[in-house]
Each structure stands twice: as structure tokens, then as C-alpha cells.
Amino acid sequence: MTEQYSIPANEMTFKEFLFKYRGNRIILKWTVVAIVIQFAVFKYLYPFASFIHGDSFAYMIAADKNLTINTYLIGYAKFLRLFSVFAKPDYLLVAFQYLFIQFSLLYLLFTLFYFYKIGRVVQLILLCFMVFNPLFLHLGNLVSSDCFFLALSATWFALLIWLIHRPSNKIIIWHAIVLFVAFTVRYNAMIYPFIACLAFALSKLSLRKKITGIGLALLLCGWFVGLTMYQYKKLTGHWQYSPFSGWQLANNAMYSYRYVDKAERKPVPKKFQALDNMIREFFDSTRDVEKNRTEAIMASTFYMWSPGMPLMVYKDNLFKRDTAASDLKKWASMGPLFKEYGIYIIKQYPWHFIRYFMWPNASKYYAPPIEFLESFNSGNAAVPELAKQWFGYKSPIIKTRMKDLRVWVLDIYPFLSGIVNILMLFAILCYISLKGWQYSGPLHKGIIMGGAVWLLNAVFTISASSAALRFQSFPILLTTIFVALHVDWMIQVMAQLKQEGKRLDIEKQMEEAIPQGAI
């Protein structure tokens, strides 16, 4: 059996496990040294923060104007505004984001090491994978919600493990707070309350405390949803939580609608006719993918963001005479209509949606594209005036000490992600077929939680969202961890069975060696 490197959770506190146990103390010390050194080297090579030309500046505008609603969820913009009160230079923001990622993942790993018996080799492999992972450096260097959400998600999942194995009032409160903050940052967190309910169901808490814990988390998230809906009601006249989801649904529907044959197109309700006619005319005029290269791309977000696309043109035509309307009002006002239209089209052509959106999106989920992380600063040499003023740059030109802006070190991640997803599927099937819960002890509940995140995130992403490496960073890393735990568990079970087999052989030999008359 692999050497065990964890100590039963009932023998010492978590603090003692980290700092009094010599092995962990040494690892933590050298981990901090490694994190600091590689960050210093990275910042020498990339002295400026990187930006997504679109998303990053939308967050910064919302932070600058202290908006309560925006194109994206407002949580990261509020963080940027709060951080700017204490520190202006971009390297301080980047340092905080990178350290937040690293320490949240260390908290998650050592939580797992604390509660589960994991072999020394697997622990060291996981630690090295997290500490020396270049993805975290580039995510931390990006002015975007992705790094912040990754760190929050890792902390949240670690708290779920604590809720299951050693719950307390403090853990319940911290879980509700972290879940609430994550809920304000990314729409992917919409699946988190369901996973949290599963964790409470698996915990040792009394029914009253389970209800209280779930209720507190839902109360905070519900307050944010209600506040957001009220702000959109004031702005657009419609109660809605996410105009973004309306645009997303219409966009997703268009990627399947494009492949519906002219003869198979069905009439649409009157309220959709103007929009539908515009979309049909666009599809009919862009059949030649050699001339319209973007139309060859499947399951993307091009239709919801690009000027000149039917959704944008329809919005602009609708507000042509309303010169006083802000861009946010124009964009948000379309959410309800686009949501209805998207759902209608998907219901009318469900098999087209499965074939031409969900299946290509599943391929992207399996091996998510690098997308904006492929190049520093989205391949641009300069930033807008807002970024220059926000971070106090002397010039809008930002540079690196690398040969070019291409971030080649991340090229392997789609391949690795694909391997990890396949291994996770086989690990779960193997665990079920072997009835692993009979051998895994406390780890069984952890495997349930890891599998739940993997499955629900896959369903959410493939059916309703877009897949990219930065969006899937937390699920990929969590999946990697649980693949490693599955492998370690299988090694331990095989060693146990082998040991048991030897014991039975010895007993059998002893029985055969004793004369029958002596029995």
C-alpha cells in the first residue's frame, strides 16, 4: 500500500495538522518560497497586467461608475473598486489575484489531505501540479472575473468538505458568505446551491441546522437576485435577473436554427416575426462559408456580441429614435424578448439544437479552447485610456519581455483537459462497478461531491453556456484532483485485497499442515 501522509482528523486540529506536523510544515514553507519565486520571474517577463478587450474594460467601467448592474455580474467590478481604494498599481492587483488562487487551492488540497487517507506520492503530485501550474499565473495576471471565481470556488468546495466531515456554526456562516460572493461574480455559480444542498444532506448536522445552513445561503443569494431584478425593473421596465441569459439563449438557438432547411422552417408568433425574418435573411445571405468564415464556427458566442449580427441590428433598430437610452438599457431591454425567442426556437427544433449546438459544445467542454488566454492582452499592444488612468500607466502601450505576445505554454491544456475528463468518466464507472463505497470509507462522500460538480457543470455548460479554458479552470482542476484520488484509492484497495489474499493463503496452509486427527 502507498505510504500514508495524512493523520486522522480526530487526532489533531487542522492548525496542528498544518503547522505542528513536521512534514506539512516543511511542505508549506517550500511551497510559499516556490510561489513567490515563480511569481517574481513571471512578473519580470510580463511586467503589465493582461486584458480581455471587451470583458476587462466592461468590469472597469462598472467599477469606475460604481454600477449596481452591468453586462456581466457585478461582483468582480465591486472587488476592483474596493481594491483600488487600497492599491493602484496593477502588479498589486495581479499579486493579490495570484496569491488568492494559490492559497485557496492549498486550503482545498490540505482539507482533502486532512480528512482522507491519501498516499504521499499522490499528495506531492497534486501539490506540484497546483503550485507550478502556469495557468494560475496567466489567470492571476488577467483583469477578469475568472481568477477571482476560481479562488472562490476552490474555497467554497473546501468548505463543503468541512460541512460534511466536521460541521460547525462558523463553517455554516463562512460557507454562506463565500457562496454569496461567488454568486455575484459568475453565472456558473447558479449550480452551486444545488451542490451545497447535497453537501448538507451528507453532513452530520441535525435537520434543524441543515435547514438553517441551506436557508442562510439561499437568503443571501436570493437577496442579490431580488436586488438585481429590481434594478433591471427600474432600468428596462422588466423584472429579470439576467439579460445576459436572454442573449445567450437567442445566440445558442441561432447556431442550431442556421441548419434548419428552408422548407422545414415553421411560422413564428407575431411578436417574433420581425426578428425571425431578419435572422432568416441573414442565414440565407451567408450560406457561402468561404466568404463568411465566422458562419463555419459552431457553438460560439459570435451572434450575441458582434456588431452587424441580427440580434445587435434588431436592438439598434428598436432604439434608433431613443437617443437618450444608455447602451446598458438598450442591451438589457432585449433580454426578455430574446429569452422567449431562444426558448421557442429550441423547442421547435430540439434535434437541431442537440446536433448543432450541444454536440459541438460538448466537444469544446471536453477540450476547452484557450481563447483569450492564447495571447497577452488579447494580442494588442495598447490599452484604452480608462485602463491607463485606472492603473496609473505612463503610456497606453504595454509590453512583455517575451519574444511575442503568444502564450504558448498553455497550448497543452485542451489536450490535458480532454484526458482528465475521460479519466474522470472511467473512474466513476469503475467506482460504481466495484461498489467502491464498500471500501472507501469517508472518501465516499468526497467522491460524491466531486462527481456532482463534474456532472452538473458539464450539463450546465454543454446545454446553456460556452466552454473556454478560463471558464472551466475550476472544474478541470477539481476533476484532476478527484482522478488522482480515484487512482490512489484503487491502488490502496488492490493492496488491501492482495494482503487479504496472502492472509487467507497462510491460514489455508496452516490448516492443511495440522493433522486431521489433531483437530
pLDDT, residue 171, reads 98
pLDDT, residue 121, reads 93
Quick count: other Cβ atoms within 10 Å of Cβ 485?
Answer: 22
Q: Measured between alpha carbons, how far is 290 from 415 in angstroms, rounded to an integer? A: 28
Q: How many residues does the chain have?
A: 519
pLDDT, residue 3, reads 44
pLDDT, residue 499, reads 74
Q: Measured between alpha carbons, how far is 430 from 490 in angstroms, rounded to an integer? A: 9
DSSP class of residue 502?
Answer: H
pLDDT, residue 438, reads 78
In 3D, which of 243, 218, 239, 219 has the Cα closest to residue 230?
Answer: 239
Q: Measured between alpha carbons, how far is 426 from 432 in angstroms, rounded to an integer? A: 10
Torsion of CA 96, 99, 101, 103, to 10 degrees: -130
Q: Measured between alpha carbons, how far is 384 from 395 in angstroms, rounded to an integer? A: 10
Q: Measured between alpha carbons, how far is 120 from 401 in angstroms, rounded to an integer? A: 38
Name the one residue in this structure whose C-alpha cell is 506539512.
Answer: 24
pLDDT, residue 2, reads 44
User: Quick one: 503 exposed, middle or buried, by C-beta within 10 A (0-12, 13-18, 19+)?
Assistant: exposed
In 3D, which of 286, 383, 518, 319 has the Cα closest to residue 52?
Answer: 383
pLDDT, residue 264, reads 93
Distances (CA, A) of 62 to 58, 311, 386: 6, 23, 11
In 3D, which of 258, 308, 263 has the Cα closest to residue 283?
Answer: 258
pLDDT, residue 497, reads 72
pLDDT, residue 424, reads 96
Q: Measured between alpha carbons, how far is 68 from 154 in angstroms, rounded to an integer? A: 26
pLDDT, residue 5, reads 45
For 9-91, strand residue ranges (E) read none
pLDDT, residue 62, reads 97
Residue numbers in the chain where pLDDT is lower than 70: 1-10, 501-505, 507, 512-519
Q: Is the Cβ–Cβ distance between 375 and 50 less than 8 Å?
A: no
Work out whether the CA dihedral 76, 82, 88, 93 comes out positive or negative.
Answer: negative
Q: Measured between alpha carbons, how far is 497 from 486 in angstroms, rounded to an integer? A: 16
